[in-house]
Structure 1
Amino acid sequence: MQYSTRLPPAIFLMGPTASGKSQIALDIAENFPVEIVSVDSAQVYRHLDIGTAKPDPATLIRAPHHLINLIDPNQNYSAALFRSDALNIMHKITQCNKIPLLVGGTMLYFRALQDGLSILPPADKGLRLKLENMANELGWPAMHQKLEELDQETAARIKPTDSQRIQRALEVCYLTQQPMSEILKTPREADFPYCKISIALIPSDRGQLHLRIAERFEAMLNHGLIDEVRSIRQQFSLNMESPSMRCVGYRQTCLYLDNKINSAELHDMGVAATRQLAKRQLTWLRSIKVDEVKEFDCLTSNLTTQVQQFLHAAIEKHSV
């Protein structure tokens, strides 16, 4: 890695779910002049605590986290909002002569932050309502076929049952009169005034990560995930398509509360969905150029020591 002395450093701590990012971040915060910035599309929601593995109040006192508990479960957030919020927070952190430590598994947010965003039109409520009415009549698989006619490249990446992404892709096609895939290929706004020190926690044994995932989801259920989701649904007007309830664990718990699956199915589906999330996260991490990120085996016994030794050398090299 090459570090520029003209730009302030920012640490990216990335990895799949259950790779131990949160604990490593806390260890770093105790030994380096950093402030933690959450890069998690689920932790932005207030009240989503257990299922998002959000740090508890005692941990937040010990190491404050930025960009968690920003909105209510019935509100929306986006990669564009994250980029703006993160850059503002990072500027304040560096003004205090500290280093932003960005920690999380929402790879879209990391990409938006460092590479910028393509210019897509804002949501159009009237058009969305029209598309929803069409979907109610035809079904989302049929809407997916319409998308395939307009934007074959985007349709190939979206499942026929993924209503949210199908709706957005069709909305962009109709508003711009061109495929969303073409718009996404246009140059993005990419002003990122920081020198990245990127760390990826990658498991050497996928099976061990799967065991961690199962144990973690079981712990969430034991700590009250079902009651948490029940309480959230009592407080806010939500449905299965609400972004907050599409989060891994919450969607499956909603199905359980609606008597569509039993407790054993809730467990199995929650674990399976979390495994799929981890698979997508690892695929994204593997796509990063080798010279742009330092990988560590998240299963090794001396992970904390390895990461901190690397950071000491990287930060010292940056300051030279």
Structure 2
Amino acid sequence: MPLPLWILTGPTASGKTELGLKISNNTGMEIISADSMLVYRGMDIGTEKPSPDVRNKIPHHLIDIVDPWEEYSVGQYVKDFEAVTQSLRQQGKQFIVVGGTALYLKAIMDGLFEGPPADWEYRNSLKTIAGEKGPHYLHALLSEIDPETAGKLHFNDQKRIIRALEVFKTTKQRISSFQTQFGHKNPKYDCNLVAIEYERDALYKRIETRVDRMFARGLLDEVRGLVSNPLGLSRQASQALGYKEIMDFFNGKYTFSEVTREIKQRTRRFAKRQMTWFRSFSNIHWIHAGTENDTTNLSEQFLAWYTTAKRPYQQK
């Protein structure tokens, strides 16, 4: 029988961390992170990672588990996630998954397609081609070899288009042929997913406030310390939102005011992409924020939903 899984998600700056803490205080549930950047030690300010004091009071899992120079994949996350959930269940502990990395959530809910490893030389060559000929060109290439996958992807979804082309180059098979089990419900879990939704202007204001707060807390010094380490940053960590732009700032690409605007703009775009992902999930329950700071209302909505959703499991 699938095990019930409670998930709280939402776009960046929607207050998932704060809301998760409030829910934990009300329910006693421990927190499992579903954030691809919280796994890295030392990347604290730019990710608004819960403080050690907070984590001492409320147990958090899958935070600070790898060094920033190490690679960490969604496949490894799924393995770590399953180990943590199994341990917590054996101890009789309740937990909630909190995070906004859509690929992690999809892998939990729908299972994971584990294709061939990345071919970075080929990926970079495709990125160069896209830069020269435009994104439509790669989408047209994919349409010739895998029209099913191409039909599901927007031409601007370069990351997934490149991955599909890479899989075909490596295996001589379409990525869609490998994904027959991906996109179906994971038989291990009965997922109950709730997502936070703000009006666009309110969310954008929260994003601007968050970015300003990160700079005030010392984001520049945090990134300076990370890049000064001889081991550097892994490919994934170096692409983290905010960190990448500040590294460009250190290299002279931006002035300080420009990098601040750039991070805010890219964060808004990222939040928009997240919402597109979340709306594609089935059986999702939305809780709606009415103001820019609405944690009390959101927690009440979540607890009302949680109480109702939990009843079928209690009756079994």
The TM-score by the shorter chain falls in which range? 0.7 to 0.9
Partner Cα distance (1:174, 1:146) in 2: 17
Q: Return 5+ residue gaps in structure 1 as ranges.
A: 1-5
The aligned length equals 303
SS of match in other structure, 1:151: helix
Which residue number corresponds to residue 206 of structure 1?
200
- Match runs of 1:148-167 below 5 Å: 148=139, 150-152=141-143, 157=154, 159=156
Whether 1:77 and 2:72 are equivalent positions in the alignment is yes
- On the 8 A contact 1:121/1:175 being kept in 2, the answer is yes
> Which residue, out of 262, 274, 287, partners 1:296?
287
Which residue number corresponds to residue 12 of structure 2?
17
Q: 1:118: how far off?
A: 2.1
Q: 1:288: how far off?
A: 2.7
Which residue number corresponds to residue 178 of structure 1?
173
Q: 1:85: how far off?
A: 1.2
SS of match in other structure, 1:296: strand
Partner Cα distance (1:224, 1:209) in 2: 23
Partner Cα distance (1:74, 1:157) in 2: 32
Whether 1:220 and 2:210 are equivalent positions in the alignment is no
1:98-128 CA deviation, whole Å, 9 max, x = no partner? 22311000011100111012241123xxx54
CA RMSD after TM alignment: 2.7
- On the 8 A contact 1:43/1:52 being kept in 2, the answer is yes
Partner Cα distance (2:138, 2:58) in 1: 46
Partner Cα distance (1:19, 1:158) in 2: 28
- On the 8 A contact 1:9/1:99 being kept in 2, the answer is no
Which residue number corresponds to residue 307 of structure 2?
312
Partner Cα distance (1:106, 1:149) in 2: 28
Partner Cα distance (2:242, 2:123) in 1: 27
Closer, same or farther: CA 186–173 of 1 in aligned 2, 3 Å: same
Letter in 2 for 1:151: L
% identity of equivalent residues: 33
> Which residue, out of 102, 127, 131, partners 1:141?
131
1:229-268 CA deviation, whole Å, 9 max, x = no partner? 11000114447x8211211111111111111100111111
1:201-251 CA deviation, whole Å, 9 max, x = no partner? 111x21011000000001001111111111000114447x82112111111
Partner Cα distance (1:190, 1:296) in 2: 23
SS of match in other structure, 2:96: strand
Which residue number corresponds to residue 251 of structure 1?
244
SS of match in other structure, 2:241: coil
- On the 8 A contact 2:223/2:243 being kept in 1, the answer is yes
TM-score normalised over the length of structure 1: 0.84
- Match runs of 1:264-279 below 5 Å: 264-279=257-272
Which residue number corresponds to residue 118 of structure 1?
113
Which residue number corresponds to residue 3 of structure 1?
none
Q: 1:8: how far off?
A: 3.2
Q: Return 5+ residue gaps in structure 2 as ranges.
A: none
Partner Cα distance (1:87, 1:100) in 2: 13
> Which residue, out of 47, 53, 56, partners 2:51?
56
Partner Cα distance (1:166, 1:310) in 2: 37
Q: 1:9: how far off?
A: 2.1
- On the 8 A contact 2:287/2:302 being kept in 1, the answer is yes
Letter in 1 for 2:254: I
SS of match in other structure, 1:199: strand
Whether 1:93 and 2:88 are equivalent positions in the alignment is yes
Which residue number corresponds to residue 228 of structure 2?
234
Letter in 2 for 1:208: A
Partner Cα distance (1:148, 1:28) in 2: 43
SS of match in other structure, 2:116: coil
